[in-house]
Structure 1
Amino acid sequence: MAMADRRSGYAAGVCVPTPMPWPDFLTGQETAPVRVLLIDDDEFVRRVIAQELLSDMRIQLEGQADSIREGRKLLARHEFDVLMVDLRLSDGMGFELISEARNHQSNGEIIVISALEDDSHVLRAFELGATGYLLKNAWLQSFAEAVLHVVNGGAAITPRLARRLLHRLNNNHRHAHQDDPAGNAPPPRQPGRDATLTPRESEILRFVACGYVSAEIGERLGITWQTVNVHIKSIYKKLHVHSRAQAVNFAVHTGLI
């Protein structure tokens, strides 16, 4: 009987996919892999995702759970960089775990993995601070790449879902223009007094808005990526947001940047 590779799960004689080169400035080096928690009550799906994560040396699967109850235990026991969570669990909705994860570790990233693709669930997840939403029945998507995208300042969303949301935004924009052809949009919501950013924080937020990750921002400003993340955490607190996307959206609409 063919022996399987201990880490990848691939049988002997089967070519393991060659990992793509990973730049030194990105999070997820083999010496400091991205820590992931996985919560899904579908044993088959969870096993498929876990095998893909374990086959990537840039990722470390810290723990798995199949319910809200067990998920809470994971959150209490483990620090994480990315939480991957299903929305429809046997003992409730994953929204509860998203909120608790944000309270437990505000700078962690959250990716929803779900069969639910209606706009209300998707938008609710992003409102709570998720930076990724992957559909279980989608094809041509990589769970490992999604993890690496969000932990380096990006977002991960199933392409079909992204296209539908873009269509919705375009429709909303068109209807707004029809209702107000002169373009007299209501004034943006003004930030609170504690939303005043320092010059350095504004500078960093502008880089974030342009898609730069923490290490790249640090290089350009002559500071460490850890210092950049400290500034980003301060920005989150001042703007009362939970993700880079929310921070940029708020700052753009309020004129902070």
Structure 2
Amino acid sequence: MVRVVIADDEAMIRAGVRSILTADPRVEVVAEAADGHEAVEACRRHRPDIVLMDIRMPKLDGLAAAAELRAAKVETAVVVLTTFGEDAYISRALDQGAAGFLLKASDPRDLISGVHAVAAGGACLSPLVARRLITEMRRTSPPRAQDSAARTAALTAREQEVLGLLGAGLSNAEIARRLHLVEGTVKGYVSTILARLGVRNRVQAAIVAHEASLVDPAEPA
């Protein structure tokens, strides 16, 4: 069972997200929050697997709330609920270790699959969101594509293959099945990849994979 907290200051958004999630018997919504302070308190109290965190909320915005959770060492994965008008917040969300980004206007199936991907240790980063992330980050660092290509070129062929599947949003278990490996072996590969790329988490690694064109467009990320 994947335990989720929904944090959004709009009641209709919370109701819609709850309706989508609870249609899946493998997901339990354990609490809702209308601002950042409530989100932090709900995560401390319920210790959910995931908090779906809106960015713009009163009292404490979603990214500040994510920072508080990280400082308090609350092991809840933060998945940011975003819109196309909030690209300026992307780098801050990455700095706070966001495990994924979901568009509020995305297909409900993407919400469900994203939640399960993050709960399984994967990254929730669809190609559409990845393109927005990469576009925003290139504004501040134009040569990123070349840099990512050079960094991934230093990886072994197998590590590049794992990174490409990670970039497509697959969990360790899914990558293991795809490549006919033991899940523990994939975990080892992922740890090595993160260290060799100098990135903090799977979302940052996924961005590098997209920038280096290692992600197969046919993959259902």
TM bucket normalised to smaller? 0.5 to 0.7
Structure 2 vs 1, CA of residues 105 and 205 (structure 1 numbering), >3 Å: closer, same or farther? farther
Compare CA radii of gyration and give the structure with the larger one.
Answer: 1
CA distance in structure 2 between the partners assigned to 1:59 and 1:151 by the alignment: 10
Q: What is the aligned partner in structure 2 of residue 215 from structure 1?
A: 173
**Structure 1 position 205, deviation (Å):** 7.3
Q: Secondary structure at the match of 1:113?
A: strand
Give structure 1 stretches of 5+ with no counterpart.
Answer: 1-32, 177-183, 192-196
**1:71 aligns with one of 21, 39, 46:** 39
Equivalent residues of 1:133, 1:156 under 8 A apart: yes
Q: What is the aligned partner in structure 2 of residue 132 from structure 1?
A: 101
TM-score computed with the length of structure 1 as normaliser: 0.57
CA distance in structure 1 between the partners assigned to 2:118 and 2:192 by the alignment: 19
Deviation string 1:32-72 (CA, Å, 9 cap, x unpaired) is x2221211121121111112111111212122222222222
Give structure 2 stretches of 5+ with no counterpart.
Answer: 212-221
CA distance in structure 2 between the partners assigned to 1:77 and 1:205 by the alignment: 40
CA distance in structure 2 between the partners assigned to 1:141 and 1:221 by the alignment: 30
Equivalent residues of 1:122, 1:133 under 8 A apart: no
**Structure 1 position 85, deviation (Å):** 0.8
| One-letter amino acid of the counterpart of residue 93, structure 2 | A
Greater RCO, CA 8 A, separation 6+: 2
Structure 2 vs 1, CA of residues 222 and 155 (structure 1 numbering), >3 Å: closer, same or farther? closer
RMSD of aligned alpha carbons: 4.3
CA distance in structure 2 between the partners assigned to 1:227 and 1:188 by the alignment: 27
Using the aligned pairs only, state the percent identity. 23
Say how many residue pairs are matched: 198
Task: Kindly indicate which of the two structures has a greater share of residues assigned to helix.
Answer: 2
**1:165 aligns with one of 116, 121, 132:** 132
Deviation string 1:99-153 (CA, Å, 9 cap, x unpaired) is 23344246x5322224572321234323433211323xx2644432331243342
Note if 1:120 corresponds to 2:120: no
**Structure 1 position 95, deviation (Å):** 0.6
Q: What is the aligned partner in structure 2 of residue 155 from structure 1?
A: 124
Q: What is the aligned partner in structure 2 of residue 42 from structure 1?
A: 10
**Structure 1 position 154, deviation (Å):** 4.0
